[in-house]
């Protein structure tokens, strides 16, 4: 199928199937993955939600989702995972959109 959008040609194959093997590059349980997941989740919320929806999303992530993850990793003794969650949050606090 061929579509045209804003002067560009788009090819689309509706019968195609894509298989995704989770975390092949960094592994399932990796501190770097935890850092990027948490950094990027909050960054996505900041860039894509606004008004009351944005406020609720940020509050949920910071006051519920993040503490639950921190407690979970702390109880498992995965201090580097908990630390990387914190690093992801502080990255967002220091990030200035250009």
Tell me if 58 sits within 8 A of 45, measured CB to CB.
yes
Tell me if 75 sits within 8 A of 24, measured CB to CB.
no
Distance CA 95, CA 98 (A): 9
Nearest residue to 42 (alpha-carbon basis) of 98, 76, 8, 89: 89
What tens digit of pLDDT does each residue of 4-29 get? Answer: 666 778 788 889 998 877 666 666 77
What tens digit of pLDDT does each residue of 75-85 get? Answer: 999 999 989 99
What tens digit of pLDDT does each residue of 58-77 get? Answer: 999 999 999 999 999 999 99
Whether the predicted pLDDT of 94 surpasses 90: no
**Which of left, alpha, beta for 23 (phi over 0: left; psi -120 to 50: alpha)?**
left
Domain boundaries, the chain: 29-98
């Amino acid at each position: 199928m061929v579509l045209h959008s804003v002067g560009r040609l788009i090819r689309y194959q509706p019968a195609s199937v894509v298989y995704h093997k989770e975390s092949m590059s960094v592994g399932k349980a990796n501190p770097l993955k935890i850092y990027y997941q948490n950094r990027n989740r909050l960054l996505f919320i900041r860039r894509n939600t606004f008004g009351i929806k944005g406020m609720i999303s940020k509050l949920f992530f910071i006051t519920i989702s993040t503490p639950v993850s921190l407690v979970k990793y702390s109880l498992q003794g995965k201090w580097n995972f908990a630390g990387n969650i914190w690093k992801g949050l502080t990255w967002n606090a220091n990030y200035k959109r250009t």
